[in-house]
Amino acid sequence: MKNLVVDIGNTSAKVGIFKKEELLEERVFQDEETLEAFIKSVQADAILLSSVRLQPALLLERIYQIPIRYLLTHTLPLPIVNAYATPETLGMDRLAAVCGARSLFRDQHCLVIDSGTCITYDFIDASSVYQGGAISPGLNMRLRAMHAFTAKLPLVEVQDVPLIGNSTVTCMQSGALNGMRAEIEGTIERYQQHYAELRVILCGGDTHFFENSLKGTIFAVQNLVLRGLNSILLHNVSQ
């Protein structure tokens, strides 16, 4: 069985083609027209679409050549238990990421750290119960905030710099990067106080800034959301 999963974000869309649990191909698209043309060119048995945009159902309706079609919402059955108090407000990418963690590390406590526009922390326990986590500003957001809410600080790009900055620009970069690194390490340590056997999984666009500098054993899995979407699709097809 060939599965197609689509993760449409604010700026780009990622597509994964799976044969059962094996990822065969991964693509990234910047516009919906090219994305739709590619999807229609793939001979797949089932598709799951996740989107932060307003009308993903319209796109799914046009993918008529794939017989089994699902749209990821908070009401779709999951391979985990969702204990989030407000599931209708939960980002589908966060939900997919913890499902991806479960598919890779079954029967283990997992902390998923997604470093993108925001940095999100999501915890799923060894019994496959998603508990929730935390959201805080990402790297670019921290730098943009310093520029937006002050009179003189410039708008600078993310760059890995030494701990001690020697200019205003490098001080800002050091503050954003090393401050976020300290936040991640502190969060991991606090989770480990409650869960000694903890798998820590990094994903997201800014992962490369942290994966080799954090303490302990960290697993970097860039296609975690796609793997999670596939596990949700497989769960629904099996039902």
Per-residue three-class SS string for 79-143: CCEECCCCHHHCCHHHHHHHHHHHHHCCCCEEEEEEECCEEEEEEECCCCEEEEEEEEECHHHHH
Position 47: which residue type?
Answer: I
User: What pLDDT digit, counting tens, does each position of 161-208 carry?
Assistant: 889 999 999 999 999 999 999 999 999 999 999 998 999 999 988 888
Query: Is residue 82 located within the same domain as residue 67?
Result: no
Q: Which region among 7-11, 42-46, 218-222 has the lowest average model confidence (pLDDT)?
A: 7-11
User: What pLDDT digit, counting tens, does each position of 70-104 carry?
Assistant: 999 999 999 999 999 999 999 999 999 999 999 99
**What is the predicted pLDDT for the residue at 25?**
94
Instruction: Compute how many other C-beta atoms are within 10 angstroms of the C-beta atom of residue 207.
Output: 20
Catalytic positions are: 93
Is the pLDDT score of 54 beyond 60?
Answer: no
Strand pairing category for 118-124 and 109-115 = antiparallel
**What is the predicted pLDDT for the residue at 214?**
80
What is the Cα–Cα distance from 197 to 110, expressed in whole angstroms? 9
Which of 4, 69, 12 has its CA nearest to residue 230?
4
Task: Fill in the DSSP letter of residue 166.
Answer: S
Query: Is residue 115 located within the same domain as residue 46?
Result: no
Query: Is residue 45 located within the same domain as residue 105?
Result: no
Residue where one domain finishes, among candidates 36, 71, 106: 71
Residue where one domain finishes, among candidates 56, 71, 86: 71
**Average of pLDDT values for 136-153?**
95
Residue where one domain finishes, among candidates 71, 89, 111: 71
Query: Is residue 153 located within the same domain as residue 44?
Result: no
Query: Is residue 103 located within the same domain as residue 17?
Result: no
CA distances from 54 to 44, 59, 75, 176 (A): 25, 11, 17, 32
Query: Is residue 112 located within the same domain as residue 33?
Result: no
Is the pLDDT score of 233 beyond 90?
Answer: yes
Which of 135, 107, 110, 131 has its CA nearest to residue 192?
110
**What is the predicted pLDDT for the residue at 204?**
87
Is the pLDDT score of 55 beyond 80?
Answer: no
pTM over 0.85: yes
User: Domain of 231: which CATH number?
Assistant: 3.30.420.40
Query: Is residue 96 located within the same domain as residue 213?
Result: yes
**Average of pLDDT values for 137-154?**
95
**What is the predicted pLDDT for the residue at 187?**
95
Query: Is residue 207 located within the same domain as residue 230?
Result: yes
String of DSSP letters for 142-178: HHHHHHHTSSSPPP-------SS-SSHHHHHHHHHHH
Q: Which region among 105-109, 153-157, 217-221, 227-231 has the lowest average model confidence (pLDDT)?
A: 217-221
Query: Is residue 5 located within the same domain as residue 109?
Result: no
User: What pLDDT digit, counting tens, does each position of 14-51 carry?
Assistant: 999 999 999 999 999 998 889 989 999 999 999 999 98
Query: Is residue 48 located within the same domain as residue 138?
Result: no
Query: Is residue 175 located within the same domain as residue 212?
Result: yes
Query: How many structural domains are present in the chain?
Result: 2
Range of the domain at 65: 1-71
Confidence of residue 9 (pLDDT cuts 50, 70, 90): confident
Query: Is residue 97 located within the same domain as residue 8?
Result: no
